[in-house]
Amino acid sequence: MTDSAVVSPQSDLVSTNAVPPKKGRRRTMFALAFGYFIDQGEGQAMSVLFPTLQAMWGLSYTQLGIIGTIRNILQSVTAPFWGYVADKYSRKNVIIFGTGIWGIWTALVGFSQNYEQLLVLRAISGIGLGCLLPATFSLISDTYSPQKRGRALGTLGGIGVLGIVIGTFALSFVADESLWRWGFWGLGAFSILSGGLIWRLVEEPVRGAAEPELAGKITEESAAQYSVNLSDIVKVMQIPTIWVAIGQGLAGAVPWVVMQLYLITWLVNERGFVEQEATIAFAGIVIGTAISFIIGGVLGDWAEGRSPKYGRAVIGQISIISGIPLTYILFAQTAGWSLGAISALSFGTALLISWPG
């Protein structure tokens, strides 16, 4: 072998696309957070517009439940596919396609003339939006070091929950038979705008560039050698810990989806509050969740510094275990409680149970 055939370490570093500088990280976080903000606000649209749609088309609670969950179901089912695509190709382009271009389908929901059309368009919009979390979390992980990653992901989650708060508030102004379509047209337009911001502002680093072991060593060329294959997915799914994490995620997601859709109705029907009062209690849960995401990120970073192997897992388990008695009290022991007491309990429960997010 001649000397010319030897590739020096220096030549590998020429094409390295390192972690973006601080300004670049801020732009990336802003664009990705805006996309997540719109996605979460759009996800809350159905529950806010339930009374209007029910009055217009005479829908049953079963039909409302199907409309409310079809997007979440398809978003969850397609997320592994989008994760695979994001690992094979540009994550930035995947997000642009899923949020920017696919936002057109959200706008088209506003043109629905009946329940069937609304259901189909809502389902299609959910398929595209499944790309957001896998590609976004991957980009954030390669943009921030392990010491700052939890805080970054917590901030992203908190901004997403803020999207639920503002989305709920804004959509309440168009919860009318003559205005509800504008809610989806506006959400579709903002989704397309988020795609433009991601295209303009996001800097995509090399996969693994933020890992201390690979800093200054990994390149686009060398990273391509570790592109995911379908056989890798099969191997990963054989790891018991993965199934434990999936089970934990399902256990945590199902109650939150139910609360998003029906908590206000439950407070009105079972606890005797008027709708405006029930919204205040729901706001306590949403705001508590937003703060909880950030607290969980900070505590996770701290715990990993103390114990890289067990730190984050312990923090997550403390949060999950604390949610069991608090959720029981909220739904089984609050008959006759005042609005202030239920709102405070709702806030405190959400503040403690969302650290794993």
Do residues 96 and 208 share a domain? Answer: yes
Kindly state the DSSP code that residue 210 receives in the 8-state scheme: T
Arithmetic mean of pLDDT, 158-176? 82
Distances (CA, A) of 238 to 138, 231, 313: 22, 11, 20
Do residues 95 and 153 share a domain? Answer: yes
Position 107 scores a pLDDT of 92
Do residues 154 and 24 share a domain? Answer: yes
172 located within any domain: yes
Q: How confident is the model at residue 154 (pLDDT cuts 50, 70, 90)?
A: confident
Arithmetic mean of pLDDT, 192-201? 92
> Domain residues for 184?
20-230
Do residues 221 and 311 share a domain? Answer: no
338 located within any domain: yes
124 located within any domain: yes
Do residues 270 and 184 share a domain? Answer: no
Kindly state the DSSP code that residue 21 receives in the 8-state scheme: P
Radius of gyration of the chain (CA): 22
pLDDT at 86 over 80: yes
Do residues 163 and 301 share a domain? Answer: no
Distances (CA, A) of 198 to 34, 89, 195, 209: 9, 16, 5, 20
Looking at every residue in the chain, the average pLDDT score rounds to 80
Choose one of 230, 260, 292: the last residue of a domain: 230
29 located within any domain: yes
Q: How confident is the model at residue 113 (pLDDT cuts 50, 70, 90)?
A: very high
What are the tens digits of pLDDT across the range 301-342?
888 888 887 888 888 888 878 878 888 888 888 888 998 998
Do residues 201 and 66 share a domain? Answer: yes
Do residues 178 and 316 share a domain? Answer: no
Do residues 213 and 89 share a domain? Answer: yes
Position 214 scores a pLDDT of 59
Q: How confident is the model at residue 238 (pLDDT cuts 50, 70, 90)?
A: confident
Do residues 215 and 332 share a domain? Answer: no
Distance CA 65, CA 257 (A): 11
Q: What is the CATH number of the domain that holds 60?
A: 1.20.1250.20
Closest CA to 33 of 157, 199, 192: 157
Choose one of 230, 251, 267: the last residue of a domain: 230
Closest CA to 191 of 271, 254, 102: 102
3 located within any domain: no
Kindly state the DSSP code that residue 286 receives in the 8-state scheme: H
Distance CA 231, CA 294 (A): 35
Do residues 221 and 260 share a domain? Answer: no
Choose one of 163, 196, 230: the last residue of a domain: 230
How many independent structural domains does the chain possess? 2
